[in-house]
A and B are shown apart, each in its own frame.
Chain A
Amino acid sequence: MKLLPLRSDIPAESTPRRGLAPAMIEIDRVSQIFQTSGRQKHLALSEISLTIEDGAFVSILGPSGCGKSTLLYIVGGFVSPTGGVATMKGKPITGPGPDRGPVFQEFALFPWKSVLGNVMYGPRQQGVKPAQAEAQSRALIEMVGLKGFEDFYPKELSGGMKQRVALARTLAYHPAVLLMDEPFGALDAHTRTRLQNDLLNIWERDRKTVLFVTHSVEEAVFLSDKVVVMTRSPGRIKEIVDIDLPRPRRRAELLLDPHYQKYVVDIEHMIDDTSEDELRP
């Protein structure tokens, strides 16, 4: 078992630490059965058990339909598991909350609010005074690279910009865990790589726990400390791969790094195997 990379001391900037207890997510034998139209039952997830340590960047990787988004929604408290239990810091997850902030592939920005309005939503919900919330939000908007766009509405922004707003909106209420559901899936390749870099830069600042769902092997290896490879439906964990690559990660260097390349090839093999399992009679 490879050691996780040590975390360097990074001073907390605008984000206060929420207690010093580790934000541990424990997923214990979680299953999910969906009722499809027509009384058919569909087993989406089967006995998933997983531990996610505080400050870890964990990717959940798998082919379409393997239930990885469902797993994320269970951790987020948006969906209740039909079997098993998910806990955070020892307490069972019963619903959504500001300790687990989502970022969705479809952006899900509030169309009736401006960029600033969207980002300010979380702090205002927490009871932060308007002036302070605005100041914090403006700082965040600048951090994600959208200074000057505060009064724009989501419909006036490109996909990449919308996702930056979505990220800023979630960061604004200081969640201990970031839940990212294929956040760059709807973007073109160039924007995707830019946002991957920006995400890592932002993450480096305070090393939140991140649960990142993707179907791109390269993306998973590039971003994460750990990659959880899932099988096709019904989703099970096939393998957990520790990614022992130094941080901070630079795309240009990594693409030429043989260790990175080996990770990608190995994991791609694993995914191929899971697919072939289905085709073999």
Chain B
Amino acid sequence: MNARALTSQVLLGIAPIALLIGLWQAIDSLGYAPLSLLPPPGLVFARLVQQLFTGAFQQEIGVTLLRLFAGFSIAVILGVGIGLAAAASPSVNALVRPIVRVLAPLPKVALYPALLLLLGFGHASKVTLVAADALFPILLSTYYGASMVEQKLVWSAMAAGTPPRQVLFKVVLPAAVPSILTGCRIGLVISCIVVFLAEMITSSDGLGHLLVTAARTFQAVDMFVPLITISLLGLILNALLQAVRSYLLRGFPEV
């Protein structure tokens, strides 16, 4: 893509965001909203930048990120493991399928009170909730990716001397990676959302907790800051995942 096309694409991308911020500022400047309810964007971003350099705020980000990664990692390990097993073994499939069909549409956040009772109000309950929510998209993507691997790939590997029990790891898993990564992307977004929400519902630390605390003291600016932070975190993590995806899938044709 040449430079001019690229710049016009970037401009086109920034335009709506700039428009939104402009609208935001306009509402405030024209007095359509009281400043105590909708603080001007300049103020919010200034506060955001200020907070980012504060040790306490950084710690809160750290706590949220920690729970996010822990939950997401568990979801990936379990999801890929179970998904592969279900694709490879009909008996595992028969066991897993109905359980997933029952649990998948269930709003896992409804389990949160139960988790709080069982695991306490600290990290464990939140990490478990994140893992439970992120698990299903990853599991299902892995399962479908693994079960739709091209038959001839498996045959080629077997003819080359791969024993049947190794085929799962040498052929099916690598071939399913595009699908797995798609599931991981969804799982990552869900993890961001769920960790924030869990911290909002009940927590003593973390970004979600900051928002709720600010709400109770009617500090509008301090409410926007954690919200924007989690959104930015989500975007950054997503971009990182995309980078990993580009590297891992460098041999695969574009889908």
Contacts and interface: CB of A to CB of B under 8 A. Distances in A.
- The answer to A–B direct touch (Cβ < 8 A) is yes
Interface of A: 76-78, 95-98, 100-102, 104, 106, 108, 110-114, 121-122, 125-126, 153-155, 169-170, 173, 175
A155 B160 contact: no
A104 B250 contact: no
**Most chain-A CB neighbours within 10 Å: which of B159, B250, B253?**
B159
A121 B158 CA distance: 11
B252 A96 contact: no
Q: Is the interface of B mostly helix, strand, loop or mixed?
A: helix
Given A97-B159, A98-B159, A173-B160, A112 B177 contact: yes
Given A106-B152, A108-B150, A111-B251, A95 B158 contact: yes
A124 B150 CA distance: 22
B162 interface: yes
B204 interface: no
Contact of A104 (B156, B161, B249): B156
Contacts of A77: 159
6 contacts: A97-B158, A104-B155, A108-B155, A112-B174, A154-B251, A173-B161
Given A112-B174, A153-B251, A154-B251, A125 B152 contact: no
Nearest to A108: B152
Contact of B251 (A78, A155, A170, A175): A155
B161 A98 contact: yes
Interface residues of B, number: 22
B157 interface: yes
Contact of B250 (A100, A153, A173, A175): A153
Contacts of A101: 159-160
Contacts of A102: 152, 155-156, 159
B158 A112 contact: no
Of all A-B residue pairs in the complex, the 8 with the closest CB atoms, nearest first, are A153-B251, A108-B152, A122-B160, A96-B158, A125-B161, A155-B253, A98-B161, A96-B159
B251 A114 contact: yes
A100 B159 contact: yes
Given A76-B155, A101-B160, 7 more contacts: A98-B160, A100-B159, A102-B152, A104-B152, A106-B150, A110-B156, A110-B171
Contacts of B33: none
Interface string B153-182: 101111111100000000100110100000
A78 B248 CA distance: 30
Contacts, number: 75
A98 B153 CA distance: 15
Contacts of A154: 251
A125 B156 CA distance: 12
Contacts of A112: 174-175, 177, 248-249, 251-252
A96 B155 contact: yes
Contacts of A76: 155, 159
Nearest to B158: A96
Contacts of A78: 155, 158
A154 B174 CA distance: 15
A104 B154 CA distance: 12
Given A111-B251, A114-B251, A169 B160 contact: yes
A110 B253 CA distance: 11
A158 B41 CA distance: 53
**Most chain-A CB neighbours within 10 Å: which of B161, B174, B252?**
B161
A275 to B, nearest CB: 28
A100 B155 CA distance: 11
A97 B161 contact: yes
B175 A125 contact: no
A240 B246 CA distance: 52
A34 B155 CA distance: 19
B162 A108 contact: no
A113 B177 CA distance: 13
A154 B250 CA distance: 10
Contact of A169 (B150, B155, B156, B161): B156
Nearest to B152: A108
Contacts of B158: 78, 95-97
A61 B133 CA distance: 55
Contacts of B159: 76-77, 96-98, 100-102, 170, 175
Interface string B232-255: 000000000000000011111110
